[in-house]
Structure 1
Amino acid sequence: MPTTAQELFDRVLDQDSYISWDTAPIDLPAHEKYSSDLAAARSKAGTDESVITGEGRIRGRRVAVIACEFRFLAGSVGVAAAERIVSTIERATAEQLPLLASPTSGGTRMQEGTVAFLQMAKIAAAIKHHKDAHLPYLVYLRHPTTGGVFASWGSLGHVTVAEPGALIGFLGPRVYESLYGEKFPEGVQTAENLYQHGVIDGVVPVRWLRPILDRVLRVVCGTIGAPSELEPAPTLSQVPDIPAWDSVVASRNPVRPGVRHVLRHGATTLTPLSGTGQGEADRSMLLYLARIKGTPCVVLAHDRALTVESGAFGPAALREARRGMHLANELRLPLVLIIDTVGAALSKDAEERGLAGEIARCLADLVTLQCPTVSVLLGQGTGGGALAVLPADRVLCTQNGWLAPLPPEGAAAIVYRDTSRAAEIAAAQGIRSRDLLESGIVDAIIPECPDASEEPIPFSQRVASAIAREIRELALIPAPKRYAARLNRYRTLGLP
């Protein structure tokens, strides 16, 4: 049996915490048949409209809630239902509350015609204002969610998950078959398929929804602690003076800890997000909501294992990165970018899908974000793929991390026509951590004692502590001053 709206609230909210915000639906003119349909729907569903709204608590945290009731005319949305939705969104915004929406609907209420169809515009506008107030909007899609509901408030979440097996799509399969005389291809409009294609962030049974929402809310509504609890960054004199090529070799060690290791040992309340939200997913770019050493943030990271395995990452990874940037900006969360890549893809597919443009847009977005930003050169930092997620308020580099326009072998091939001189050009280009610190490209070096591959857990915890320290220090700087300093940094970098 499908989960009803009230059952969903009972499963997700703290016991006895739900308070209805519903008032009587606005009275609209209705022909006799429609009036009869409404009366039958009220009797069948036990609700006075196709949505119910209110507030409750999730592990003590106050949230606003909206849910469709499918038994009421297939959860369809007309003028009265839309007015109830918008009033709830506006109240949640005024009261500075996170908002959880759970659609299950056939879409626009056909009995009300085109005027009902246009209600989606005002719902979308209300959600945009809610997000502009830097308030979380979370979506749980239930079976089925189609039509204008999916194409408006069902697709605007900061985080969007769906129940297993749910039919999710713009055009309902019955409508498609009626219009085109054939069945819609099987397996396309399912929660699982949309997750695989980066349209939604996950597939979650209702019994798991409450702890996941709690985990998300602890990040998106979290506070930043004081920096005094964490160790200061080491000085240049404390960093070993080792050849650049030694760092390149160390960074390529297959057992060197990557971002997953760092997050496993330095972060909590991790919630992975998936894809661009627009039908693309590149698993070499990771996107998380997390707390690093108790500090809430959005994490964007190259997955070293997948990047090495596939050779590089493509435009979809950069579009996912831009989604993470916008997410952090809308929620006013610190953004952490962890770099460990052999570089962006060099291929026909990457060129035709706009790789260069995505690098440019990442740079433009990242440099002009309003939220605090910290980037970390964890290992390899090659080419535009590394640069696209580098320019931040604070840039950290591990002792054996490095940054270069090309792999040293590629640079040697260009300059000397001899890849065997890679070590020579690595030294000449100033790619190692000490050189990057002296040139002002990075702000602090994270020690390795003596190599991350020999001490993976302490190293990972050290990286996490360094990130948390920088975020907490940035939080003390007024936002306009921090933003101006970032712009000036990259405006003057490299000038005498």
Structure 2
Amino acid sequence: MRAAALVARVLDPGSWVSWDRPPDPVAEPGSPYARELAAARERSGCDEAVITGEGRLRGRRVAFVVSEFAFLAGSIGVATADRIVAAVERATRERLPLLAAPSSGGTRMQEGTVAFVQMARIAAAVMAHRAAGLPYLVYLRHPTTGGVLASWGSLGHVTAAEPGALIGFLGPRVHRALRGEPFPDGVQVAENLAAKGLVDAVVGIDELADTTSRALNVLCGAPEPRTPPPAPESPAAYFEEPPDLPAWESITRSRRPDRPGVRDLLRHGASDVTPLSGTGEGEADPGLLLALARFGAAPCVVVGQDRLSQRSGHPLGPAGLRVARRGMRLAAELGLPLLTVVDTPGAVLSAEAEERGLAGEIARCLAELITLAAPTLCLLLGEGSGGAALALTPADRVLCARHAWLSPLPPEGASAIVHRTTARAAEMAAAQGVRSADLLRDGVVDAVIAERPDAADEPGAFCTRLAAVLEHELANLPAADHAARAARHRRLGRTG
């Protein structure tokens, strides 16, 4: 699709305002390159390989940089880079979210190395935009290759791709010329990169405006400063002094296959949900859900353990914790609250997990959460087994569902260590203080959310109540305070 047509399909009608000025000359008059540029201008109707400007997307003012592939395959020369950098810097000055839609063969060979190094210059401008706490969203179009993909095409907070798009570092023509064989089929394709956690979604042109608008509704925070909402009804309607039930009863209930998990919570209680895929660095883990979402008026980044996926063949591994850390960084960079949802039967037990650094990833999650430059809220929703659960638990405020629990190991594992049999798991759970009542008493959690009497018996109603609690809690979180967090962790388990 041509650049102007893409702008017309994505932005509100009549809202586009160009920021472009005529490019400075880069070719000797009469030279072959000058003739190529003239032909490109005539063929494409554009004076360079990108157009830049601003418009409105569902009423929100945004900046937009769009490649024109018909102009020398969207390649980046010095004048192209001048235009991109000027647009990025203007978006930063005017505090606008920035959208980029590259479609390019990469560096303009006619300009050589001086064009090649422009990629670093563009990347520097993009990172200054991000450092200002402003969203940068990328839509990779067919084709996007070379230095463009290896710079500003891969730096988005959120990255989507056109269906079927060729996306890769080394273009197929170059690979065949250098290696004497075609590049393997199915690798440099948008859908494969999404499955591998390199792009967040594959989105058609007609869905792009809605998808982008949903993401910006979260990434840009509340449209106006507002008074945090009061807790709906009375706290007694949501929080409770948990009843004195046996620990094993809660553990049994938490393992019910029909117990609602993080996906149910988002479906019943959240809006503007934008799932993100993987680490953005080539790893994905179905056991860990990363999303942007709103609970009522409160935007947040959600990092949640997906109980059903973990129990259907995808136990949480090191890649899942690296996905979680991506969410932490995203929250910190954009100043959004982070919501972690703990619901795991435990991390994967395998030689591969050990070799890929499972223990180190747990440690890094703990370290990043404790020092995160964003407010944090943790919800213990169901099972809370072992280091995988602890990795997402430290937060400014911790909530716990009545039948959620937290334990160093599954009770069966603790029983095997102490009694050399799993048969005394219920006894070990009671002795270890894993249930919500124990966690509240010991200061591990701040409040317990009622189930009536079991979330699995009222999934929709439970998730709706829970969403109201989360809206109130997210809106009332204090700013990140490392001293307060340190004091909180010093108090853990010290009830005297």
TM bin, normalised by shorter chain, reads: over 0.9
Equivalent AA in structure 2 for residue 288 of structure 1: A
> 341, 344, 352: which is aligned to 1:341?
344
Deviation (angstroms), 1:304: 0.8
For 1:367, the equivalent position in structure 2 comes to 370
Aligned counterparts, 1:243-258, within 5 A: 243-258=246-261
Residue 461 (structure 2) pairs with residue 462 (structure 1): no
Q: Distance in 1 between matches of 2:52 and 2:213?
A: 19
Contact 1:236 1:434 in 2 (8 A): no
Contact 2:146 2:169 in 1 (8 A): yes
Q: What do the CA deviations read for 1:253-281 (whole angstroms, capped 9, x no partner)? A: 11111111111111111111111111111
Indicate the SS of the match to 2:211: helix
For 1:17, the equivalent position in structure 2 comes to 15
For 1:418, the equivalent position in structure 2 comes to 421
For 2:177, the equivalent position in structure 1 comes to 178
Indicate the SS of the match to 2:393: coil
Q: What do the CA deviations read for 1:138-180 (whole angstroms, capped 9, x no partner)? A: 0011100000000000000011011111100000000000001
Deviation (angstroms), 1:231: 4.4
Deviation (angstroms), 1:491: 3.7
Contact 1:446 1:462 in 2 (8 A): no
Q: Distance in 2 between matches of 1:305 and 1:218?
A: 28
Deviation (angstroms), 1:68: 0.5
Contact 2:240 2:448 in 1 (8 A): no
Deviation (angstroms), 1:83: 1.1
Indicate the SS of the match to 2:394: coil
Q: What do the CA deviations read for 1:172-210 (whole angstroms, capped 9, x no partner)? A: 000000001000001110001101111001111101101
Equivalent AA in structure 2 for residue 226 of structure 1: P
User: Which is further off, 22-31 or 122-131?
Assistant: 22-31
Question: Unaligned 5+ residue runs, structure 1?
Answer: none
> 313, 317, 338: which is aligned to 1:314?
317
Q: In the superposition, relative to structure 1, how do residues 311 and 286 fare at CA in structure 2: closer, same or farther (>3 Å)?
A: closer
Deviation (angstroms), 1:29: 4.4
Q: Distance in 2 between matches of 1:236 and 1:155?
A: 44
Deviation (angstroms), 1:484: 2.6
Contact 1:233 1:445 in 2 (8 A): no
Equivalent AA in structure 1 for residue 135 of structure 2: P
Contact 2:239 2:449 in 1 (8 A): no
> 392, 395, 399: which is aligned to 2:398?
395
Q: In the superposition, relative to structure 1, how do residues 151 and 382 fare at CA in structure 2: closer, same or farther (>3 Å)?
A: same
Question: Unaligned 5+ residue runs, structure 2?
Answer: none
- Give the total of aligned pairs: 490
Q: Distance in 2 between matches of 1:411 and 1:322?
A: 28
Deviation (angstroms), 1:461: 1.2
Q: Distance in 2 between matches of 1:342 and 1:30?
A: 67
For 1:353, the equivalent position in structure 2 comes to 356
Q: In the superposition, relative to structure 1, how do residues 461 and 483 fare at CA in structure 2: closer, same or farther (>3 Å)?
A: farther
User: Which is further off, 136-145 or 233-242?
Assistant: 233-242
Q: Distance in 2 between matches of 1:463 and 1:199?
A: 32
Q: Distance in 2 between matches of 1:218 and 1:483?
A: 28
Q: Distance in 1 between matches of 2:301 and 2:491?
A: 28
For 1:112, the equivalent position in structure 2 comes to 111
Q: Distance in 2 between matches of 1:225 and 1:129?
A: 31
Q: Distance in 1 between matches of 2:468 and 2:239?
A: 18
Q: Distance in 1 between matches of 2:289 and 2:249?
A: 28
Aligned counterparts, 1:64-143, within 5 A: 64-143=63-142
User: Which is further off, 366-375 or 484-493?
Assistant: 484-493
Q: Distance in 2 between matches of 1:494 and 1:339?
A: 20
Q: Distance in 2 between matches of 1:155 and 1:97?
A: 19
User: Which is further off, 217-226 or 203-212?
Assistant: 217-226
TM-score by length of 2: 0.96
Deviation (angstroms), 1:225: 5.5
Aligned counterparts, 1:221-260, within 5 A: 221-223=220-222, 226-231=228-233, 233-234=235-236, 238-260=241-263
User: Which is further off, 19-28 or 43-52?
Assistant: 19-28
For 1:162, the equivalent position in structure 2 comes to 161
Deviation (angstroms), 1:131: 0.7
Contact 2:239 2:450 in 1 (8 A): no
Q: Distance in 1 between matches of 2:324 and 2:234?
A: 29
Q: In the superposition, relative to structure 1, how do residues 445 and 452 fare at CA in structure 2: closer, same or farther (>3 Å)?
A: same
Deviation (angstroms), 1:367: 1.1
Q: In the superposition, relative to structure 1, how do residues 358 and 125 fare at CA in structure 2: closer, same or farther (>3 Å)?
A: same
Equivalent AA in structure 2 for residue 220 of structure 1: L
Aligned counterparts, 1:256-271, within 5 A: 256-271=259-274
For 2:214, the equivalent position in structure 1 comes to 215
Contact 2:342 2:382 in 1 (8 A): yes
Deviation (angstroms), 1:232: 5.2
Q: Distance in 2 between matches of 1:236 and 1:455?
A: 16
Equivalent AA in structure 2 for residue 227 of structure 1: P
For 1:438, the equivalent position in structure 2 comes to 441
Contact 1:267 1:294 in 2 (8 A): no
Q: Distance in 2 between matches of 1:318 and 1:43?
A: 51
Q: Distance in 2 between matches of 1:216 and 1:65?
A: 15
RMSD of aligned C-alpha atoms? 1.5
Residue 296 (structure 2) pairs with residue 298 (structure 1): no
Q: In the superposition, relative to structure 1, how do residues 435 and 142 fare at CA in structure 2: closer, same or farther (>3 Å)?
A: same
State percent identity of aligned pairs.
60
Contact 1:268 1:294 in 2 (8 A): no
Q: Distance in 2 between matches of 1:100 and 1:491?
A: 44
Q: Distance in 1 between matches of 2:397 and 2:328?
A: 15
Deviation (angstroms), 1:483: 3.6
Equivalent AA in structure 1 for residue 438 of structure 2: D
